[in-house]
Structure 1
Amino acid sequence: MNVIIANKYRDALANLDIEVIKKLEGEFTVDEIIETFKNFFFQKMILDITALKDYKNIKTLQQLSLSLDMDRLILLLDGSPETSDPEYLSDLISMRIYNFTMNVEGVKWLYEHPNSYRDVAQYHQLDTTHETNYINSATPQSQVYPEIKQTTVICFKDITPGAGATTLTYIAKKQLARNYDVVAIEVDKHDFMYFDEDKMYSVSSNELGNTISKYNSAEVVLIDGNTSPVTEALANETIYLLEPSKIQLNKLLARDPKVLENNKNKKVVLNQCMLSNQDISDFEYETGLSVFATIPPLNDQSSDNEALDRFLVKLGFYKQTPLEQGGNKKGLMGLFK
C-alpha cells in the first residue's frame, strides 16, 4: 500500500492508478511528515515537493532522508529554478534520492520501474566541487560533491498520430546546432537514418538512459520519444505535440475519449498549425488545454526557421536570438543564458 502527500499537484496525483492507504493534502513541515510516517509501513511514498515546507532548502530534504527510507520515495518536483538547479539535483542523489521527476507520467513510470544510481548518475556532479553542510554530520567539515554537467534533455512526443515529433526533433537539432552542442536520439524506431545527419542516434527504451549518460558532454539532448514510456522520466521537459486539424482530433477522441483531460497539465504545442490567435483561444476554450506554443509548417531543408527560433527561445535557448532580444533572460532549467 502507498501514501501520497500532495499540495499543488493534488489533482494530477489523484488520477494515479495505485492503491493508497494514506493521503495527506496541504503543506507540512519535515518534522510533521517524519513523525507521521516513521513507524508507518508503506510500499511507496509519493511526495509532491510543494507539500513540504521550505523544500527549496536542500537541508529540508536531507533531514527527511535521514529519517525515512529514500528507496521508497518518489519525489515530484515543481520545476522551479531552485529545484531544477543542477546542484540541488546532485544533492538529492547524494542523499540516495534517485526517484525524482517533474511530471506525473514520470511518477507512474518510477512507481513500476524505480531508478538505481546508474539511472541518475548523469545528474550527479562530477567535475567541479561545491560544499553542503550536513545535518548531524559525523564531522563539522562540509561534504564535497563534484559538479554536474549542464545538459538539458528535451523530449518531443505526439498526441495526435503523425503530429511531427520526428521531423521537429531533426529540424530543432539542426537549428540549435548553430549555437549549442546538440545530440538527437529517437526511441524504438529507426527513422533518423533517412535524414543523413550527424549526432542523431536510434536506440531502444532500455538503452535510452545509458545513451543520455554517454552524451552528457552535450549542452542539449533532444529526444523523439515516440510511444516509449520511459522518456518522460528521463527528460527535463517533455513537449506534447498536437496537430489541431478537425479530422485528427476526431480520430484521437474516438480512440481515447479522455485524451484531452489526460493532457491538461502538460506543455501542449500545436504543431503544423495555421490557426489565428482567435482560433487558438477558441481551441483552448473548447478542449480545456493550455497551449504553450504554436509552430507553423516548417521547411525541413532549412536551418534558419524564424518561427522555430521563437519557439526555442520560449523554451529558454536565448542564443537563438540576439542578446538584446532576450539573451539576458533565464531559460529552461536555468542552464542557458
Structure 2
Amino acid sequence: MRRLPIFLVIDVSESMVGSPLRHMQEGINQLINELRKDPYALETVYLSVIAFAGVVKTLAPLMELYAFYPPRLPVGAGTSLGAALNHVMDEITQKVILSSPTQKGDYKPIVYLMSDGSATDNPDAAIARWKRDFMQRATLVSVGIGPFADLSRLSEISTSMLRLEDVKENDFKEFIRWISQSVSSQSRSLGVDLPISLDKKELPMLSLVKSLNDAAAIDENYVIISGLCAKTKLPYLLKYERAPMMNDVPYFKQKAQVYGYVGVYPLEADYMAWSDSRVNMNKIAASALMGGGGCPHCGALAALAQCGCGQIFCVNGEGVAQCPACHQEVYMSASGEDFDISRSRG
C-alpha cells in the first residue's frame, strides 16, 4: 500500500507558551480524530510530528493513523529553523519510500511547518539544500502563527505561505480543520499532486502571504523571562507583550518601550534539553516590564526575583531566600533601583 507521508513541524519556542501551544496540542488531537473518520486517509496517511526550539527532535515517527498517539509538546528557548528544515529533510530521506523498477514508492510528502517567531539560527544552508534536493520531492506549506511570525526566510521554498492572524480557540480549530481537509483531499487524489486549497471562503481565519513585507515580522513584540521555582526547582516562563507607545497623548512623552504582563506558565523538567545551549547575552531593564505574577509551581507571591548570579526565581516577599541555581542565600527586598534582567531567546 502506497503511503501519503504528512510531517507536522511545530515551533515549540518560548513565545508559543500559553494559549498558542495549548491550542496546538489540542489541534493535533483534533486532526487525528477528524482524519480517522475518513476511510481514504485512514488507509493511506502516515503522520509524523517534529518539534523545534533551540534543538529539534522527532516526537512521533512516521506511522499510520490508527496507531498514532499525539505526543506532548515541550517548550524550549530558541527557534532553530535551519535545524528544523535539515531534520525534516533527513526524515524524508530515511523514511519516505522512493519508487523503483520493482515497486511504487510513497506519494509526495507534505510538510506543514508552523512557527510564531523568527529564526535564531542561520537557515541559509538548509534552504539551499531544500531548493537543490527537495523542491520536487516534497510540498512545504509554511504557516505563521499570530501576526508576528516571520516567514520571509521560507519564501523561496514554500509552496504556500499562510498566516493565522488570531490565535483564538475557534480560529485555531478551523485552521486544524482546514489541514485535515487538505490532507483528506490529497489522500483521495490517488497520487495526483493536487494544489493546496487556498480558497478564502474555506479558510477565513488564514491570510495568504503574498510578499516579503507581509512575510517579515517584528522580532521585539514579546519579552520572555525564564525562572526556576525555589522549592521544586522546576522551570517557568514569564511572558510580556509589547505595549503601545503613548507619544501621541498630549503632555506625555514615553522615553522607552515597555512590555505588559501576559502570564506566567509552568514548564516541565525537559525545558533545558529543548533549549539553545549557546550563551545568551540579551538583557532588558526591569523598568521596561509592567506587572508580574506568582510562581505557577509552588504559589510563591513573586516570580521575578533575581540572584546575583543572574538566575530568576520565586520568593514570598522580603527576607532571606536561597537561589535554586547557585544555592547562595541572598536577602531579597523591594528596591527603587533599576536593574537588568536576562531575557530569553523566545
TM-score when normalising by structure 2? 0.29
- Between 1 and 2, higher relative CO (CA 8 Å, sep ≥ 6) is seen in 2
Larger Rg: 2
Structure richer in strand, relative to its length: 2
Normalised to the residue count of structure 1, the TM-score between the two structures is 0.29
